[in-house]
Every structure is written in C-alpha cells, then in structure tokens.
Amino acid sequence: MDKNTKICIIGGGPAGLSAGMYLEQKGYDNYTILERNDHVGGKCHSPYYNGRRYEMGAIMGVPSYYAVHDVEEFCGITHDGPRLNRNYKDRDGNVIEPFEPMKNILKIPRLMKMKKQITELGRILETKYKGYDVNGHRGVAQGRYEGFAVSPEREPVSGENENLKDLSMPFKDWCALNEVDLVQDVWIGPFTAFGYGYFDEIPAAYVLKYLDFQTCMNFVRVNLWTWKYGTQYIWECLNEKLKNPARLNSVISRVERKDGKVFVTVNGETEEYDKLIVTSPLQFFPEYADTREDEEYYFSKIEFERYDVLAVETKPEDHPEISYYVFDNMTPDRLGHLMVYYRRWKDTRDQVITTYALRKHKNSEEIPYEECKQMVLDDLKTMKNPASNIVNEQSWYYFPHVFSDDYASGWYDDVEAM
Ligand SMILES: Cc1cc2nc3c(=O)[nH]c(=O)nc-3n(C[C@H](O)[C@H](O)[C@H](O)COP(=O)(O)OP(=O)(O)OC[C@H]3O[C@@H](n4cnc5c(N)ncnc54)[C@H](O)[C@@H]3O)c2cc1C
C-alpha cells in the first residue's frame, strides 16, 4: 500500500487508537481517527470521584496482553495501579472459600477431580486442539488456524486441525465432550462475571481464545495488571502521542464506498479517503453506511450482551473489605443478579464500589434495565454492603459475537472474505 494512503478509522477506543499506532509504526501517517464521544477510550472508561479514578468499564489486564504492552512502551507508561484481590460469597452473603480444600472437607473429592481436569484441559489444548489460541477466529469453522501466536513475538502461525471445528459448540457442551466439565468452575469467574455470557450459549472458541490456558491461570493466581489513573489513561496517553490524535465529537451521518474511494460525512462535511477501518459495532454500521445486502445479512446475525455497571457509595461501615465474586449468581437461572463487585482502593472507604450484572440470555427474556438495577441493589443489601447512593450507571452494548450455528457455518470466514 502507498505510504500516503488516506485512511479513516471509525472509533477512538482501544482498537481504533491501536490501529493508528501500528499504522504510524509502519510508516502510514495519513490516517484520521473519528470518535463520536468527547473523550477517547471507549469501554475503557475511568471517571473521577473524590480525586481518584474508578472504573466504569475495563479494569485489568494480564501479562499476555502483548498489544497493551506495545502501547505502554510507545507511551512510556506502565501498569501501576492498585493490586487486585478478591474473596467469594454465596448468594446469601456468606463469605465462602470455594477453592480451599481445608475449608470444604466435603468438597475435597470434587476439588481433586477439578484439579485433574484442569491438567487434562491443558494437555488437550496443547495437543488435540493445537492452534486453538491463535489470535482471531479465521478458519476455525473449517478446521484451520491462521493468525498470530500468543507470545511476545506474536509470530504468524497457521495449520490444519479438524478438531478445531468442535470449538463452535457452546463451551458447556465442549467441556462435556472432552470430559472436563468441572473446569467451568474456574473459567466462569473471568468469563461470565466479566460480561461474556453464559457457558450454555457461547461457543467454546470465544471462551478459549480470550481465556487461553495461560491467561486463565493468570486470573487464578491474581497475576493481573491495573492502572493508577484507570484503563482510560492508557488510551488518553496513546492519543496524545499519536501524530494524528482522534477527532472528538465526530458525528458520522454517512459512509459511501464509490469508485475505489470512501466518502465519509462527518458533522455535515464530506471527506474523501482511500481506506476505511471500522472499530465501532458492525451491527449499527447499516444505520449510516451504504451496506450491501450480504453485509446486512451477516451483520444482523451479531449478538451482544447487556452488561450493566453501577458505581455506588456506601456508608464507611458498609464498605466491603475487598472485592467479591458471587459464583451462585453466574448461571442463567440467576440472570440479572449481582455477579461481582469491585473495591478498587484498599486505603480508603470514601471511594465508590462498582457492581456487575448481565441481563440477557439466549433462552430467557431480557430483564429490563431498571428491574436489574433494583435486583443488584437488593443483592448488595443481602451481601451486607448496602449502597447509600448511586453515583454513575451504564448499560454497555457488550461482547459482539455469533452463536454456534453461525459460527459453525463459517461466519468469520465469510465476513473476512467480504
Ligand atoms: C464493564 C466492563 C468491564 C471490562 N473489563 C475488562 C477488563 O477487566 N479487561 C479487559 O481487557 N477488558 C475489559 N473490558 C473490555 C474492554 O473494555 C473492551 O474489550 C475494549 O474497550 C474494546 O475496545 P474497542 O476499541 O474494540 O471498542 P470500544 O472500547 O467500544 O471503543 C469503540 C469506540 O468507538 C466509538 N464509536 C462507536 N460508534 C461510533 C460511530 N458511529 N462513530 C464514531 N465513533 C464511534 C465509541 O464511542 C468508542 O469510543 C470491559 C468492558 C466493560 C464494559
């Protein structure tokens, strides 16, 4: 591609800003990032409260976030945030230690079995499912892998592996097929509680590409990164370093592709580009772009989660000691309930805590926003950490994905080909 190619990037979140950085590093400086909001960062959103930043969106990273590491290096920053730690409660608010054999004598056989299955999972992922963890979903439905390795070098890798087709099935079924059902007890925390849906509906490919074996073990060992000024700060720093920082408050009313060019109408003015990178939700692309019939067909198949976050104040005496996971609330029969709540700052009780709930599931009715909010507030009371006031709230359009049938019929390959 000519180094002067004029590139338009829609969205100033992690994907759009990183695209700008990587283009710049490869010598393509003629890019423009259009961001609809008055700030960058997208779902990395860290507002201020009492002089500190809390998280309404992303919270943490892991050492295998090599791309985030690239950004840190580019910006000269590091993950310098408060250490994460958590405990567990049951749905009645009692503190439990589900993974501690000595505290769960009756559960020892199950815990032993789970440990064995985790080892077995590690083994089959390395062998039977070789290639499962490469970056991206290209080829999986056809029994191929083709992408970048999960390693600091991220070397391109590709190969054939018929078994990868199994990854189209819901994770729950995939675990049953491989006789490792109990690993769900471990994977569920950083998956369902982090807003990615339920194991009976989400294809195993999504679970295992995000929580590849190493990454999941980092969660288990709490080997995690946070940022003192919030995850948004990473993207604010990157935006400042870029030769072409994002143009904020850019309202795109039309995208038209014609004669090998792209015409983008922004805040009423039409601009001409050679290439377009879309990092905003494809599902909404037809609302402003000249989408073809095939594009509309594929984009309409995109599913998403409703992931709700509340930031609440508590009285100092009601402030939680630590963050809590509520495993009982991470299955579809408890849709809309509080799954996890996060105390970010250990040294003070005058900061907000944030709560997380899902209210959409393939086989259930979506729970209305206000109803879910009330359930979460009631759950906080049950947890003995009642909220005294809501400071911020957000219902995120989250985790665009497709279900098993579309995944198995090659949705990603078809879209790549388009
Ligand atoms: C509650 C929550 C917790 C999370 N926790 C974690 C975590 O702990 N660790 C982790 O790694 N990830 C976490 N995530 C996920 C992480 O935030 C996302 O994966 C990441 O932000 C996705 O980046 P993106 O650029 O693809 O999309 P986004 O962050 O959504 O950015 C897209 C950008 O495009 C802009 N945009 C949209 N439409 C248009 C348009 N028409 N025109 C112009 N601009 C547009 C948006 O305003 C936005 O700025 C969490 C997310 C949420 C919501």
pLDDT tens per residue across span 278-298 = 999 999 999 999 999 999 999
Q: What is the DSSP letter of 56?
A: S
With a 6 Å cutoff on the Cβ, whether 57 touches ligand 1 is: yes
Q: Which atom of ligand 1 is nearest to the CA of 252?
A: 42
Paired sense of beta strands 31-34 and 7-10, if any = parallel
Residue 169 — pLDDT band, cuts 50, 70, 90?
very high
- The pLDDT score that the predictor gives to residue 262 is 98
**Two tokens at 369?**
């926003």
Q: Which of the four pLDDT bands, split at 50, 70 and 90, describes residue 213?
A: very high
Mean pLDDT on 25-43: 98
In this structure, which residue's CA is closest to atom 37 in ligand 1?
280
Say whether both 276 and 329 belong to one domain.
Answer: no
Considering the domain architecture, whether residues 210 and 235 belong to the same structural domain is answered as no
Q: What is the mean pLDDT of residues 158-171?
A: 98
Domain total of the chain: 3
Tell me, yes or no, whether 80 lies in a domain.
no
Q: Give the rounded percent of residues in the chain with a pLDDT score beyond 90.
A: 94
Centre of ligand 1 from the C-alpha of residue 44, in Å:
6
**Which of 43, 65, 338 maximizes ligand 1 atoms within 8 Å of its Cβ, making it the mutation to test the pocket?**
43
In a domain, 204, yes or no: yes
Say whether both 188 and 217 belong to one domain: yes
45 Cα nearest atom in ligand 1: 17
- Does residue 185 fall inside a structural domain? yes
Asked if residue 384 belongs to a domain, the reply is yes
Ligand 1 pocket residue status of 355, Cβ below 6 Å: no
Cα separation, 176 vs 62, whole angstroms: 28
pLDDT at residue number 418: 87
Region of poorest pLDDT, from 98-112, 259-273, 344-358: 98-112
User: With bands split at pLDDT 50, 70 and 90, how would you rate the model's confidence at 208?
Assistant: very high
Whether the CB-CB separation of 229 and 46 falls below 8 Å is answered with yes
Tokens linked to 376: 């979460």
User: For residue 2, is it within any domain?
Assistant: no
CATH number (domain holding residue 333): 3.30.70.1990
The string of pLDDT tens digits covering residues 250-260 is 999 999 999 99
User: Same domain, yes or no, for 108 and 180?
Assistant: yes
This prediction has a pTM of 0.96
pLDDT for residue 101 is more than 80: no
Q: Which domain holds residue 362?
A: 303-400
Task: Tell me the two tokens of residue 259.
Answer: 């004669």
CATH number at residue 118: 1.10.405.20
- Residues 101 and 107 sit within 8 Å (Cβ to Cβ): yes
Residue 112 lies in a domain: yes
Task: Please check the confidence at residue 104 and state whether its pLDDT lies above 80.
Answer: no
- CA-wise closest residue to 9 among 258, 217, 228, 242: 242
Instruction: Identify whether 154 is part of a domain.
Output: yes
Give the percent of the chain with pLDDT over 70: 100
- For ligand 1, whether the C-beta of 13 sits within 6 Å is yes
Is ligand 1 within 6 A of the CB of residue 189?
Answer: no
